[in-house]
Structure 1
Amino acid sequence: MSQPVPPPSGNPFADGAAPQPYPMAPPPAPARDNVALGLVAALVAALVAGGVYGAVMGGIEREIGWAAIGVGFLVGLAAGKVGGRNPVLPIASAALSLGAVYLGQLVGIAVMVAKQLNVSATDVFLEEFGLLTEAWSEGKDAMTFLFFALAAFAAFSGAKKAAA
């Protein structure tokens, strides 16, 4: 006959089992408080998003407010995710998003002019940059500055939220 098994006492070592070592701790999360890397990421995002914004704007031949917001948000997101919580990053993101929207508007004008003249938009952008800035200056209106403000706000808030 077998002996009845006594109820568990709550002690894991009562039956003579050796103690098990604690599992290894996971590696620490990568440091995200790298301001310089956050600024580089924001700059790259600004250049790429500004170029895409300009290509879309030139393709449909009008400014798009939600796209300007997207440009700003992408710049802020890149800065916040890579750079962390440094208070410089939201401000730098807002400034870079202004430049990105301006770049995008110039690219958009270059695409529109290139379509009319049947030439390369790159040639128009690089060779006639002075004329592009004059055309932008003559065509700016209240909506242009609203798009700048929306992009800067989206970049600032995007950087703060991404770092949280």
Structure 2
Amino acid sequence: MSQHIQPPAPESDAAAVPYPAEPARTGNIGLGIAAAVVAALVAAAAYGGIMNAIDRQVGYAAVGVGLLIGFAAGKLGGKNPVLPVVGAVLSLGAVYLGQLFFIALTLADYGNVSLGEVLDKAGVGGLNDIRQETVDAMDYVFLVIGGFVAFGAAKKASD
């Protein structure tokens, strides 16, 4: 007589199935982009205000613009590969708008008028015309610095 011995049944089926690795955090691309847009607007105003306060541009301020935008995009948006690019583009725009805001603040101070009056009369086109007359190589360097830092910060913040 041969005896057939059955192995003991597992306590539960879940114990027999290995758990898959936890999925990578993907984040929410829409939230990341929205946060980066808000950060870009705040950073542009701060950048223009800082330049107005010290009456010149500084690289550290452009780095700050890039850090703020990139961090917002990466932290809230996750590891989506499009977010560093979006952060870099928004940073370029924020530095540019900050430069226009600096011109508007300078005109308001010089003309002893309100900022609203300058924006109403000159508009973005008029401010851009003034920028084009006074732009130099360093203005473009600050644009690139902000974009480069935003790209790296978005990648780093998503880790």
Aligned to 1:48, which of 33, 39, 42? Answer: 42
Partner of 2:104: 110
Tell me which of 68, 74, 79 is aligned to 1:80: 74
* Cα contact 2:104–2:119 (8 A) shared by 1: yes
- Partner SS for 1:128: helix
Counterpart in the other structure of 2:138? 143
Unaligned runs of 5+ in 1: 1-30
1:84-126 Cα shifts (integer Å, max 9, x gaps): 0000000000000000001100000111111010011232124
Change (3 A) 1:44 1:149: same
Q: Is the 8 A contact 2:26 2:80 kept in 1?
A: no
Pairwise CA distance, 1:32: 5.8
Whole-angstrom CA distance in 2 between matches of 1:126 and 1:61: 23
Aligned counterparts, 1:1-164, within 5 A: 33-129=27-123, 130-164=125-159
Deviation per CA, 1:116-159: give whole Å up to 9, x if none. 10011232124312221111111111101100110001000000
Distance 1:65 1:125 in 2: 26
CA distance in 2, matches of 1:72, 1:126: 29
Contact preservation (8 Å) 1:32, 1:82 = no
* Aligned counterparts of 2:43 and 2:138: Cα–Cα separation in 1: 19
Separation in 2, partners of 1:43, 1:111: 22
Q: CA RMSD in A?
A: 1.4
With structure 2 as the length reference, what TM-score do the two structures score? Answer: 0.81
Deviation readout 1:59-80 (Å, 9 max, x if unpaired): 2221111101100110000000
SS of residue in 1 equivalent to 2:80: coil
Answer whether contact 1:109 1:132 (CA < 8 A) is retained. yes
- In the alignment, the residues of structure 1 paired with residue 26 and residue 46 of structure 2 have an alpha-carbon distance, to the nearest angstrom, of 27
Report sequence identity in percent: 51
Q: 1 CA distance for matches of 2:116 and 2:152?
A: 33
Q: Following the alignment from structure 1 to structure 2, what is the Cα–Cα distance between the partners of residues 110 and 78?
A: 27
Letter in 1 for 2:32: G
Contact 1:68 1:150 in 2 (8 A): yes
The 1:131/1:139 distance shift into structure 2, 3 A limit, reads: same
- 4+ long deviations beyond 4 Å: none
Unaligned runs of 5+ in 2: 1-24
In 2: Cα distance, 1:57 partner to 1:125 partner: 18
Query: Matched residues in 1 for 2:33 and 2:120: separation?
Result: 26
More helix by share: 2
Residues in 2 aligned to 1:43 and 1:60: alpha-carbon distance in whole angstroms: 26
